[in-house]
Amino acid sequence: MERPHEVLLVALIATFAVIHLSRADDQEGFISLDCGLPPSEASPYIEPDTGLWFSSDSDFIQTGKIGKIDPSLPKTIKTYVTLRYFPDGIRNCYNLSVKQGTNYLMRFTALYGNYDGLNITPKFDVYVGPNFWVTIDLENKISGQSEEIIYIPRSNSLDLCLVKTGTTTPMITSVELRPLANDLYITESGLLKSFKRYYLTSSDTILSYPDDVKDRIWEPKFDPEWMQISTNLQANNSNDFLVPQNVLKTAAIPVNHTARFNISEELDFPDDQIYLYLHFSEVQSLPIGDSREFDIFWNGQQFDKTISPEYLKTTTIYSTTPVTCKGGVCNLELIRTTNSTLPPLLNAIELYTVVKFPQLETNENDVVAIQKIKARYGLNRITWQGDPCVPQKFLWDGLNCNSTDTSTPPMITYLNLSSNGLEGTIAAAIQNFTHLEKLDLSNNNLTGEVPEFLANMKSLILINLKKNNLIGFIPQALLDREKEGLQLFVDGEHRCFSGSCDVTEKKIPVKTVAFVSSATFMVIIVVLVLIFVFKKKKKSIKLGGNVTSTNISEISIEMKKKKYNYSEVMEMTKNLARPLGEGGFGVVYHGVINGSQQVAVKLLSQSSTQGYKEFKAEVRYRRNSVYVKPMRFMYAFIVLQVELLLRVHHINLVSLVGYCEERGHLALIYEYMSNGDLKHLLSGKHGSSVLKWSTRLQIAIDAALGLEYLHIGCRPPMVHRDVKSTNILLDEGFTAKLADFGLSRSFQLGGEFHVSTAVAGTPGYLDPESYRTGRLAELSDVYSFGIVLLEIITNQDVVDQTRKKSHIAEWTTFMLNRGDINGIMDPKLHGDYNSHSAWRALELAMLCANPSSENRPNMFQVVSELKECLTSEISMKGNSQDLDSQSFPKVSMSYDTQDFPSAR
C-alpha cells in the first residue's frame, strides 16, 4: 500500500515534469547558448530565473578561450557565470543551424565582468554573416550590453562574428535566437534593430520569458505626468504579437485628463530610420456614457486613424514605412478627440531602427563545398571562419571570389591549398565550385588518381597538381581541355605519376608527342642557326679580325612589320637627341613613332663589352683553335630574343615595339615608360612625390602579375633572371611593368653590377641557392621579388655596408626580432598605412626571400596574398580612392593567352 507522502511526492514530480514539458514546447526553435560554459559541465541546463534551457556554445565555435565573470557584480536578468573571449585573430565566428526564411529575434549579450582582472572594457564590432550589425562598447556598462535584431536567414546556416577593431579583446556571454511569426515586424527594406521596448508601469519589474513566450525583453517606463491604471483580468492577446499579459494589465494616462499624452525619444544616430509599434488594451470597464477615443501623431503627422481601444482586447498599431525624426528626436502624441470623455491610454511601445544588410552571403553551394573540404582535410585555419568571400577584408586565405556585385551572391573563383599537408584523394566537393577558375593543390601528400570531374569544370583555366603522390595517367578529357587552353601543371615526364603506368603498353598522349616534337624541332633550328653563322663568310673570320654584319632576316624569322631601318631609328630619335640612360649594351634614347607613340630605343654599341664577359660562358665556340669575337653571336642571340619578346604579351611586361638591324647597327625599340623605374620613385629624388602605401602594394601586384605570367602563362615557363627595382618601370598611370625579361645579360646600371656567372643576376637580388648550385628555376625569381618587396616596404638599399646587417633581408630579420615594425616601414610614409596589411606584406616578403626555395611561395600565391593585402588596406581605411593616379585596385588574374611564346 502506498503511503500518502509518497503519493504526494509522485504527484509533485509529475506536476513539475508537466510544467517543464510545457515550457519546452514553448521554446521550440529557441537557440540559447551560454558562452564559455565547458561542455563537460551540465549542458543543457535550465536557467533558474527564467526557466530557459541553455547549452554550451562549444559545438558552434572552434576558437576562443573561457573566462569567468566576477560574481560580486550586479545581477542581470540571467545569472551569467562564464564568457568566451577571443585573443587570437581578427574575426571569430559562431556557425548556427537555423531555418531558412524564418523570422528570428536574435540577441547578443556581452558582460565584461572584469574576467581578466585588468578592468579594461572591450570595444569591438559584431557582424551577421558578411554584414556589419552593431558596435559593442562596454565602457561604463557594468551590467553589460544586449543588442537585438530581427533577422530572416537566407540559408539554413547563420554566421555571427565578433571582429576586433582596436587593441581590446572581443568577448561574449550569450547568444539567443527566438523564432517569430513570419508576418510580423516587416520592413520595406533592411532589418529591424531593437531601439526601445517598454511597457508603461510604475513597477520596476523587467519582463521576459516566460511572461513573454517569444522572450522579448520589456523594460518598465513611467513619468510623473502620467497616472497608472490597471486590471487583474486577463486580456485577449491573440493578435499574433502575443504581448505579455502583465504588459496588457497596466496602462498609463496623463494626470491632467485634458492634456496630451507625450513621449519623446532621442536617437543614438539622428539619421536613423524608425519603425513604431504601439500596443493598446482598455483596462477599465467604462460606464455607460463614457468613452476613450484619441488620435495618434508621430513627429507631428497623424499616424493612424482615430482609435478607441477595446476592453481587455489587444490592438496593435504599427508603421508600414520608415520615418526619420527631425534632429534625431522622435515625438509621439496621443490627443483625445472632442467626442471622448476620457484621456488617451497606452500600454506599451516598441521602437526599431533600420539596419541595412546589402551584402549577400556567398553562394550556398560554394559554402557547403568549402566546408566539406575544410572538414575533409582538417583545415582549422583561424581565418577560415564566417562567410568565405565577404566582406573582402575577411576573405578566407587561399580564396578569391567574384564579390564586386552586392546584388548577387559571391562565388569562389580561386582555391589555393598548396603546401597545406593535404592527405588522401582529391576531394569530390571541388566539382561543386561551378565558377572556379584556378585550382592549386601543389606540394601536398595527395594520393590516388586525378579525377575526371576536373575536366567537366568548364570555368577552370588553371590546375596545379605538382609535388603530390598521385598515380595513373591524366584523364584524356583533361588533356583535351588542355589543348583548348587549360593550363595544367603536373609531375611526370609522360604525364604519368608513378610506375603504375607502363608507357610501353599504353599509347602516349598526343600532347606529349607534340611537346617532344616541338622541343626536337627547336633544337634543330638552333643548331642550324649556329651552323649557318659559322659557315657564312668563313674566310673572313680571323683571330682579332672585324665581325662581319649578320643579317637578322637570314638568321631567323620574318618580322617585317616590326622591323625598322637605321634611318628610321635616327628619325624617331631625332638623331639620338635625348638619351635616357646608359647600360652595358649601349645608350637608351627617347623616340617618337608616327608623331605620337613614345618609345625607348636601346642602341647596341659595337664597342660593348657586355658580351665579351658573359658570352664567353654562353655562346663561345671553338673552331680549329680559332676563337670568334662574340659580337656575331650576340646578334644571333638577340635575334632569338626579339622573336620571343614579340610573342610575349602581358599588361605588366614592357612591350617590344620593334627592332633594327642594318649594317651592324642593332637596336631594340620598347614602349616608353614615362615614370621611370621603381628605385628612382622610391628614392624621391628629382622632385618625385612619396609613393603611398596602397600605391606601393599595387605596384607590387603589377610586378608579381608580370612574373606570374612568365612562370605560368608562358609555355614553357620563362625565368626573368634579373628581377630588381630598376627593372620595374612605371607608365604615366603608375602601372608597373617588368623590363629586360627573358634576356640573359649583365650590365652596369646605377652602381649595381652583374657578377658573370652561369646564373645571371644582380648582387643582393640573386638567389643564394641558385648561385650555389648553378641551377635556375622560377623560385629564383621569387627570391629576387621578395627583395624588391622589402625595398618597397622599407625603402632601404638592398646592400648597405654602413648598416650592422648589410643585406636588406638580414637587416629586416634583425628588426623583426626586436618587434619593431615602425622601424622597418619606410619613414617617408609617416605611419600612413594599416598595420595589418603592412604585417602581411612583410611576412610575404620574408617568405619569398627565404634562403631555401622549398619554403618559398610560387608567384600564383604571391599575387593572391598581395591582392588580399591591398584589399585589407583599402577596406580598413574605408577609402577606395587611395591610389596615386589610380582608382580601385586592379585585381584581375587574366592572361593574354592569344599568343604564348613557344620557346625561351
**Residue 353 and residue 191: Cα distance in Å, rounded?**
8
The DSSP H or E segment spanning 295 is: strand 294-298
What is the separation, in whole angstroms, between the first and last Cα of the chain? 102
Are the C-beta atoms of residues 174 and 36 closer than 8 Å to each other? Answer: no
Instruction: Give, in order, the Cα–Cα distances in Å from 441 to each of 430, 490, 828.
Output: 11, 10, 40
DSSP3 helix / strand / coil % (the chain, rounded to 5): 25, 25, 50
Q: Report the distance separating Cα 812 and Cα 195, nearest Å.
A: 51
Q: Cell 612591350 belongs to which residue?
A: 655
- Strand pairing class (31-34; 250-254): unpaired
- The answer to whether 632 and 545 are in contact (CB under 8 A) is no
Nearest-angstrom CA–CA distance, 768 and 761: 10
Sign of CA dihedral 801, 805, 806, 811: negative
**How many residues are listed for the chain in this entry?**
904
**Main-chain dihedrals φ then ψ at residue 671, nearest 5 degrees:** -65, 150
Neighbours of 663 (CB within 10 A): 8
Type of residue numbered 141 = K
Which positions ≥6 away from 329 have C-beta within 8 Å? 264, 265, 266, 267
616 labelled binding-site residue: no
- Please report which residue ranges of 798-858 form alpha helices under DSSP H: 808-817, 821-824, 835-848
Q: What is the C-alpha separation between 694 and 713, in angstroms, rounded?
A: 26
Q: How many whole angstroms separate alpha carbon 423 and alpha carbon 275?
A: 54
| Grid coordinates belonging to 828 | 617617408
For 594-707, strand residue ranges (E) read 597-604, 622-623, 626-627, 656-662, 665-671
- Please tell me which residue in 722, 767, 826, 884 is annotated as part of the active site: 722
Q: Is 265 buried (19+), middle (13-18) or exposed (0-12) by CB count in 10 A?
A: middle
DSSP class of 712:
I
The grid coordinates listed for 371 are 566546408
What is the C-alpha to C-alpha distance for residues 363 and 351, in angstroms, rounded to an integer?
A: 33
DSSP 842-875: HHHHHHHT-SSGGGSPPHHHHHHHHHHHHHHHHH
- For residue 311, count CB atoms less than 10 angstroms from its CB and return exposed for 0-12, middle for 13-18, buried for 19 or more: middle
Q: In this structure, what C-alpha cell is assigned to residue 781?
A: 625569381
- C-alpha to C-alpha distance for 864 and 843, rounded to whole angstroms: 14
Known catalytic residue at 722: yes
**In 3-state terms, what secondary structure has residue 275?**
strand
Instruction: Tally Cβ neighbours within 10 Å of residue 634.
Output: 24
d(Cα 800, Cα 848) in Å, to the nearest integer? 20
8 A C-beta contact, residue 669 and residue 657: yes
User: Rounded distance, CA 688 to CA 28, Å?
Assistant: 67
Backbone φ, ψ for residue 109 (5° rounding): -125, 135
User: Count of H helices and E strands in the chain?
Assistant: 17, 42
Residues at the annotated binding site for ATP? 602
Residues acting as catalytic residues: 722
